């Protein structure tokens, strides 16, 4: 994955998480504010009814000015301007609060202006140190009582269990996202280090292998009969190492974002050239070669990538027991199809979905790999054709052979 793509992914994910958390906080604050408003309204209504009941019991008119004042979030005072019957006050407050579906515990106190002191009901227990803080003396020339809800904040939050659950889920998602991001970046760094190491090793091996290949070719031409067998072994092994190193370099190069240069290519001529080289490389008695079909159009593609893909498929066919290799060419106005058919061991349906994966090799009996290699050949083919804008199709039957089709756009 490109660095730019990773940065965009991270930014979008962070924005999404911030949006989710921000939305939750916004709606939670709004829900708490609404709950607080409903609570305050119900308390006002309950205390107003208490004042009406007290005025009615004392034969007084209801005050023209609103007697209820909210001093703080959980403390209310009610001015009566008349003596308050403590015996009835607790009953009235409790009854009215219950009518409003308020189940919170509360404390109340009464200020008696005649004695200039706070008078508390017998069943309310207030600590001496908290008396002035909870029920402060406001004025000394009027009667009032105060109602205090000590557990209001805790009770309001207690009704938001669903919000707490979603907040916990969001926190878990953020933690997993952070861990996944850490793993992705670490794996990316390891992948880059691994790719650089493979490139460096491959380049370091390529130069001495080229020298060895040249030296072995010279020895082969000058070798005496007794030494010819050993020189041939050296030459074959060096050639195999060269192919492996080139495959590794090629696979690494295909993973980069280098632009593919295209040119007009005579596909029929290219296939004839490839088969001529294949006849020279492989024994004529070993493999029977056939080229069918013809092309009337030069397609616009990359000649080296196409040639390398066809060569890999031909080499793969010979490697896995193909005694007859048929290369077929079909072309229309939009695309060109190159089919490579062999009569080798074939590929099982379960393996056909995996053979194009990088480093994947089909296991033989007891998981033995009789054919040497790194499992890069078909992966390179698929990657090359994809870079040309085409696709690779596989049709294979075990013990009967395989057909690989390279479908390439003409333009």
Query: Average of pLDDT values for 145-155?
Result: 80
Task: Quickly list DSSP for 31-96.
Answer: HHHHHHHHHHHHHHHHHHHHHHHHHHHHT-PPPSS--EEEEETTEEEEE-SS---HHHHHHHHHHH
Residue 224 Cα distances to 87, 228, 232, 235, angstroms: 129, 6, 12, 15
Check pLDDT > 90 for residue 396: yes
pLDDT in tens, 278-295: 888 876 567 888 888 877
Check pLDDT > 60 for residue 369: no
Cα separation, 284 vs 261, in Å, equals: 35
Check pLDDT > 90 for residue 390: yes
Check pLDDT > 50 for residue 391: yes
Q: What is the mean pLDDT of the chain?
A: 78
pLDDT in tens, 314-341: 988 888 888 889 999 998 888 999 999 9
Highest-confidence segment of 77-91, 276-290, 336-350, 367-381: 336-350
Check pLDDT > 70 for residue 220: no
Structure tokens at 98: 């219950």
* Residue bearing tokens 């970046």: 185
Say if residue 379 is exposed, middle or buried (CB neighbours under 10 Å; 0-12, 13-18, 19+).
buried
Q: What pLDDT score does 131 carry?
A: 38
Check pLDDT > 50 for residue 128: no
Q: What pLDDT score does 60 carry?
A: 77
Instruction: Give me the domains of the chain, ranges plus CATH numbers.
Output: 3-158 (no CATH), 161-254 (1.10.287.130), 263-409 (3.30.565.10)
Q: What is the DSSP letter of 261?
A: P
Q: What pLDDT score does 250 carry?
A: 66
- DSSP-based three-state secondary structure for 164: helix
For β-strands 288-292 and 324-331, DSSP reports them as: parallel
Cα separation, 196 vs 343, in Å, equals: 39
Structure tokens at 380: 């390179």
- DSSP-based three-state secondary structure for 113: coil
Check pLDDT > 60 for residue 264: yes
Q: What pLDDT score does 406 carry?
A: 95
What band does 241 get if pLDDT is binned at 50, 70 and 90? confident
What band does 125 get if pLDDT is binned at 50, 70 and 90? very low
Task: Quickly list DSSP for 281-340.
Answer: HS-TTT-EEEEE----S-EEE-HHHHHHHHHHHHHHHHHTT-SEEEEEEEE-SSEEEEEE
pLDDT in tens, 157-210: 766 667 777 777 888 888 888 888 888 888 877 777 666 666 666 666 666 777
Give me the percent of the chain exceeding a pLDDT of 90: 13
Check pLDDT > 50 for residue 368: no
Q: What pLDDT score does 174 carry?
A: 82
């Amino acid at each position: 994955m490109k660095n730019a793509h990773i940065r965009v992914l991270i930014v979008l994910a962070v924005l999404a998480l911030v949006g989710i958390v921000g939305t939750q906080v916004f709606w939670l604050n709004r829900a708490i504010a609404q709950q607080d408003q409903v609570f305050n309204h119900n308390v006002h209504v309950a205390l107003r009814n208490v004042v009406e009941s007290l005025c009615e019991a004392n034969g007084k008119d209801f005050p023209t000015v609103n007697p209820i004042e909210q001093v703080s979030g959980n403390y209310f005072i009610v001015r009566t301007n008349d003596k308050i019957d403590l015996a009835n006050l607790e009953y009235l407050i409790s009854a009215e609060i219950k009518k409003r579906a308020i189940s919170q515990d509360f404390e109340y106190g009464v200020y008696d202006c005649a004695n200039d002191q706070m008078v508390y009901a017998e069943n309310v227990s207030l600590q001496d140190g908290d008396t002035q803080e909870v029920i402060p003396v406001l004025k000394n020339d009027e009667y009032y009582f105060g109602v205090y809800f000590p557990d209001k904040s805790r009770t309001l939050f207690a009704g938001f269990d669903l919000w707490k659950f979603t907040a916990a889920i969001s926190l878990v998602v953020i933690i997993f996202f952070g861990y996944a991001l850490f793993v992705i970046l670490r794996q990316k760094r390891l992948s880059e280090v691994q790719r650089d190491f493979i490139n460096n090793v491959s380049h370091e091996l390529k130069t001495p292998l080229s020298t060895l290949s040249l030296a072995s070719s010279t020895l082969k031409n000058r070798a005496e009969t007794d030494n010819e067998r050993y020189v041939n072994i050296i030459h074959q092994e060096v050639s195999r190492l060269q192919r492996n190193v080139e495959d590794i370099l090629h696979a690494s190069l295909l993973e980069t974002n280098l632009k593919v240069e295209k040119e007009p290519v005579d596909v029929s001529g290219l296939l004839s050239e490839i088969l001529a080289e294949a006849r020279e490389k492989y024994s004529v008695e070993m493999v029977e070669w056939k080229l069918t079909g013809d092309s009337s159009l030069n397609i616009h593609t990359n000649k080296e990538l196409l040639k390398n893909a066809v060569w890999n498929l031909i080499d793969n066919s010979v490697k896995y027991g193909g005694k007859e290799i048929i290369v077929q060419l079909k072309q229309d106005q939009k695309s060109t199809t190159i089919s490579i058919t062999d009569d080798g061991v074939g590929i099982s349906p379960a393996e056909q979905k995996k053979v194009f994966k990088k480093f994947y090799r089909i296991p033989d009996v007891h998981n033995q790999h009789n054919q040497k290699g790194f499992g890069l050949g078909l992966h390179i083919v698929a990657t090359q054709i994809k870079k040309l804008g085409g696709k690779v199709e596989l049709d294979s039957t075990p013990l009967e052979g395989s057909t690989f089709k390279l479908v390439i756009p003409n333009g």
